[in-house]
Amino acid sequence: MAQRLSVSYQKKPCYDIVFSQSFAELWEELKGLGADGRRLCIVTDSRVDELYGDAVLKLLEGNCLKTAKYVFPAGEEHKTLDTVKGVYTYLIEEGFDRKDMLIALGGGVVGDLTGYVAATYLRGIDFVQIPTTLLSQVDSSIGGKTGVDFDGYKNMVGAFKMPRLVYMNLSVLSTLEDRQFFSGFAEVMKSALIKDAAFYEWLIENMYEICERDAAVLEEMVRRCCGIKKLVVEKDPTEQGDRALLNLGHTIGHAIEKAKNFELYHGECVALGTVAAAYISWKKELLSMEEYYEIRDMFVPFYLPISVDGIEPEEILRLTKSDKKMSAGNIRFILLKKIGKAFIDTTVTDEEILAAIKEIQFSDEDAHA
């Protein structure tokens, strides 16, 4: 029997997160949402389609009014309004109406983009998330943030749209390439750092099993992250306050992602951004020096970068300011009071940000260390 977690929106139960080791229970879950009387369109990318597209399509075929599948090329560079337009056109051609349903099968790009189509097509239709990467399972598939990048700026256009179901087949984690898996781990670290010191300790204790992708340990890890995310998004669904804590590492992280032209993975940039935020927290005497180095070095066994070459600190600062995490002209920086306790700070100065960027800038000394 699959485990589940119910997520509320505006204080009412809204959708379940189902944790399974296969796709076996997917149809029963969809049927419970009335999928048998509707048209279903899987939206996925070329990489995920090769792995799971047909398997998921077969589970649906013959069970509902009509099944369809829209596949777009994999990669962050396709998280655009042009791809959204392609999905709209396909849905119109296939006769999808407001009672039908979209199935987002894939990682963060697929989930965010499909959710945005679901939020806007015919002023909103239902959608289900089937996250297939660690990053999307522990973070992006939960909480209803949807959107696309615009002009290279991350998630500049979007909407809040709650899914009807988040179905996780945790066995997919075993097929992820290492870089993708560890990129997702950066969001796991983030969850622990902002809210749960005991979980942070658990991650240290289970470091070997996580790297070896022990199925039971990964299941517990994903469930604990989802539990943290559930509490945060239930309290503040539209990021008026505490939800911003989930952006730890993202302000400088997004700037690096853009400056490096998306050559680094999102989680790799989040790791760099988190090191920078922890550095600022140390310099502001919130964290001790030992805590700063401990946080920084925790990324290393998970193959995540703690320094980066080929960046211009001034350019990263400029891009940081054009990220959307601003409040009345001030950057809403997420800092750490201690491991497991984050807060929003709007007083971080340009000098402090520049010093933090220089701290994570790869230098020849690092090369010879």
Q: Which residues sit at the interface with ligand GLY, rule CB under 6 A?
A: 139-140, 143, 145, 243, 246
The beta strands (E) that lie in 145-243 are given as 145-150, 153-160, 165-169
> Which secondary-structure segment (H or E) carries 103?
strand 101-106
CA neighbours closer than 13 Å in the CB half-sphere of residue 120: 18
- Torsion of the alpha carbons at 270, 272, 274 and 275, rounded to the nearest 10: 170
Of all residues in the shown chain, the one whose CB is closest to ligand GLY is 246
- Closest approach, Cβ 215 to ligand GLY, in A, equals 25
- Closest approach, Cβ 6 to ligand GLY, in A, equals 18
Contact 74, 52 (CB under 8 A): no
- Closest approach, Cβ 345 to ligand GLY, in A, equals 18
Rg (CA), the chain: 20
**Residue whose tokens read 């998330």:** 129
Within a 10 A sphere around the Cβ of 37, how many other Cβ atoms? Answer: 10
Beta-ladder partners of 85: none
The CA distance from 275 to 260, in Å, is 18
Question: φ and ψ at 274, to 5 degrees?
Answer: -70, -40
Terminal Cα distance for the chain, rounded: 51
- Closest approach, Cβ 207 to ligand GLY, in A, equals 24
Task: Report the candidate in 77, 88, 47 with the shortest Cα–Cα distance to residue 149.
Answer: 77
- Closest approach, Cβ 187 to ligand GLY, in A, equals 8
- Closest approach, Cβ 129 to ligand GLY, in A, equals 12
The CA distance from 104 to 44, in Å, is 6
Nearer residue to ligand GLY within complex by CB, 67 or 155 = 155
- Closest approach, Cβ 314 to ligand GLY, in A, equals 27
